[in-house]
Amino acid sequence: MPSSEQTYENRTFKGTDPFGGEALRREFSGCTFKECDLREKRIAVAVFSDCTFRDCDLSNAVISGCSFRCVAFEGCKLVGVAFAKVNHLLLEWTFNKCKLELCSFEGLKMRGTRFAGCVLQEVDFTGADLTGADFTGSDLRQTRFHRTILEKADFTQAARYYIDPAENRLKGARFSYPGVLSLLAPFGVKVE
């Protein structure tokens, strides 16, 4: 098994075991992960800066204490990942055309995060700060927003979301018709 403390710069990783086991206390800068199978991998206290994950499967990966700075997830599958355990400092990431299912972002400060064209199913954003987040064109089926800050968030062309305006902060959030009508659902209002 390789040393647990390693630094990688401007490298491309592919395959089923790009870390050679668990990724513990490793630093990745300017790296690209292509079609990597990271299912059920343990990734702890790792630092990812200016990295891209493209067409990777991170289902049930155990991610704890990791830092994500300027990281892009593109076309990735993320099922059952507890992102709430990542390092909260300098957290900056984007998700483009990803499938996120049964993931938790509970309590994270994720201002300006993009979830463009994603499928988010049963994702938990309880207590998260998503000020200025972009959900353009995303499917938010059974995604949980509770005590979530959604001010200036963009939900245009987003579908199947349920947001209770009495439980979340929505000032300046953008919605498109007819999806915006779902904001009335908590009040039992019928629109004809």
More confident residue, 182 or 132: 132
What 3-state DSSP class applies to 185? Answer: helix
Q: Are residues 156 and 188 in the same domain?
A: yes
Kindly state whether residues 2 and 80 are assigned to the same domain.
yes
For 76, residues 6+ apart whose C-beta sits below 8 A from its C-beta are: 53, 54, 55, 56, 57, 58, 95, 98, 99
Predicted confidence at residue 188, as pLDDT, reads 73
Return the pLDDT at 189. Answer: 66
Question: Measured at the alpha carbon of residue 68, what is the angle toward residues 67 and 71, in degrees to the nearest 5?
Answer: 160
93 and 111, same domain (yes or no): no
Mean pLDDT of the chain: 90
Domain containing residue 76: 1-97
Instruction: Say if residue 47 is in the same domain as residue 133.
Output: no
Please tell me which residue, 123 or 18, carries the higher pLDDT value. 123
* pLDDT tens-digit series, residues 165-177: 999 999 999 998 8
| C-alpha span between 39 and 163 (Å, rounded) | 31
In contact, 150 and 133? CB cutoff 8 Å: yes
pLDDT tens across 45-100, in order? 899 999 999 999 999 999 989 999 999 999 999 999 999 889 988 899 999 999 99
Q: Are residues 77 and 32 in the same domain?
A: yes
Inform me whether the pLDDT recorded for 35 exceeds 80.
Answer: yes
